[in-house]
Amino acid sequence: MIAPAIVWFQRDLRLADNPALSAAVASGAPLIPLFILDEAEGGDWRLGGAARWWLHESLAALSGALERHGAPLTLRRGETAAALMRLVEETGAAAVYWSRVHEPWTTERDARIETTLRQRGVAARSFAGALLAEPGSIRNAEGRPFRVFTPFWRALAERPQPAPPSPAPKRLRAGPAAASDRLETWRLQPKTPDWAEGLRESWRPGETAARRRLDDFLKDGIGAYDRLRDFPAEDGASRLSPHLHWGEISPLQIWRAAAVAPAEARRAFLRELGWREFCAHLLAAHPDMPDAPLDPAFARFPWASDARAFTAWTRGETGYPLVDAAMRQLWRTGFMHNRLRMVAASFLVKHLLLPWREGERWFWDTLVDADLANNSGNWQWVAGCGADAAPYFRIFNPVLQGEKFDAEGTFVRRFIPELARLDAKYIHKPWAAPERALREADVALGETYPRPIVDHMAARRRALAALATIRGRPPL
């Protein structure tokens, strides 16, 4: 009789192109699929609210898929290593298979687990799959991790083509039954108040939905991706990021499937996948990246402290319509258009002079695609303190950004209905509208919609003066 094997799912919540699952099936052992919820894991970077909602839905989808394939999902809650070892003892499992993830604490944890399993005579086999290239596998000519994206991307894109993604197993041989938590008892979804209505309207988590989203994007979206991706009112984004984060689809599946797209559009799209890889490699090389600036000079930056301004930013009440629409999109849907992430983040750190870590934590709690490497890498990029960062003195003008990328105000009207009737000429600067235009649009500044909480030019001067304290006189 063959002893069972545990397939420990982490952020590889799929059956297709799952090397750990494929290897476990190939072993011939009966399988015990497992997911462990460790509420304490990550410390300050425990799962945010939107991510918890997504995880519930994704686990429900994975559980159904595994059940249909013949091996039910076992759910356990508690400290990861202890929960895993208990299941090994209960079932007599002779092997544990899992896919690697790359947060600093998971790397250390998995090394300890692997040692403990082998000391107990249990085979421990971990696999790549969350990234196209494992951290540390791409280095510059000096043998160091890249700090600039373009040469990193070039090195990644020039690697030999990987093998095609593997299909999902047709059938799974189930191991002995194991006690399992009920997903509902984990309380991953909000109860009162139920703030997830917009998430349910906007998303369908799970492997099947991820594959459908990719197919639809390749059929109808990627051809115009490089032309439309900067316009938030257009459906130009792939919206694959939360599916990628939770491993409902692999980067290899996306990479290979995109080969059918026109060359220019394919390059623009895959470059975004490359940025995701770049951030993951940065985090592996700099484990403190979520909390400390990669540019040490910014440790001396004179950040402001303004709770009222931060609250106005989170609520989409800054008085700058493009910023406010972006922040309301985030709260409503758990997602923000990529260009607007740059505009909204720049507004926080440069117009309001508030620490990038405050914005990073807000995004962590509200994004369904909250990813430690991407989130911290992107915030440091905008703040000017990260690798390959945007210069701090480059300050987005939210009015000009709105006029360029949402000229008719379509996106703003969608998320700020109180401005819906305002003429496009003033939609991104309602304070400049004549009183008659405001009355006709039922807009009362300071009442139905706020006045700007800062003046753009004054805020720009203040930001540059702050930069001068750590850099000397900055460019104007």
Residue 272 among the catalytic residues: yes
343 CB contacts (<8 Å, ≥6 apart)? 322, 323, 326, 396, 398, 401
Residue 375 among the catalytic residues: no
Q: Single out the catalytic residue among 105, 186, 195, 303.
A: 303
H-type helices in 298-455, by residue range? 307-315, 321-333, 338-346, 356-366, 372-383, 398-405, 410-415, 435-440
20 CB contacts (<8 Å, ≥6 apart)? 7, 8, 12, 97, 98, 99, 125, 126, 127, 129
Omega of the bond leading into 193 within 30 degrees of 0 (cis): yes
Torsion of CA 366, 371, 373, 378, to 10 degrees: -40
To the nearest 10 degrees (0 to 180), the angle between helices 307-315 and 321-333 is 70
Give kind and range of the element (H or E) at residue 272.
helix 263-285
Residue 357, Cα to own-chain centre: how many angstroms? 16
Residue 275 among the catalytic residues: yes
Q: Single out the catalytic residue among 45, 53, 275, 362.
A: 275
CB count, 10 Å around CB of 120? 11
CB count, 10 Å around CB of 114? 16
Residue 207 among the catalytic residues: no
- What is the residue-wise DSSP string for 399-417? HHHHHHHSTT-HHHHHH-G
Residue type, 31: L
Q: Single out the catalytic residue among 356, 362, 364, 381.
A: 356
Planar angle of CA 271, 226, 284, nearest 5 degrees: 20
Q: Single out the catalytic residue among 338, 403, 418, 431.
A: 338
d(CA 64, CA 8): 16
H-type helices in 122-195, by residue range? 149-157
Q: Single out the catalytic residue among 272, 317, 403, 418.
A: 272
Residue 18, Cα to own-chain centre: how many angstroms? 20
Sheet of 123-127, strand order:
74-77, 31-37, 5-9, 95-99, 123-127
CA dihedral (225, 229, 231, 234) positive or negative: positive
Is residue 374 within 8 A of residue 276, CB to CB? The reply is yes
Q: Single out the catalytic residue among 45, 255, 364, 379.
A: 379
User: Which tokens in the block code for residue 220?
Assistant: 């109808």
Q: Name the CA radius of gyration of the chain, rounded.
A: 24
Active-site residue set: 272, 275, 303, 338, 356, 379
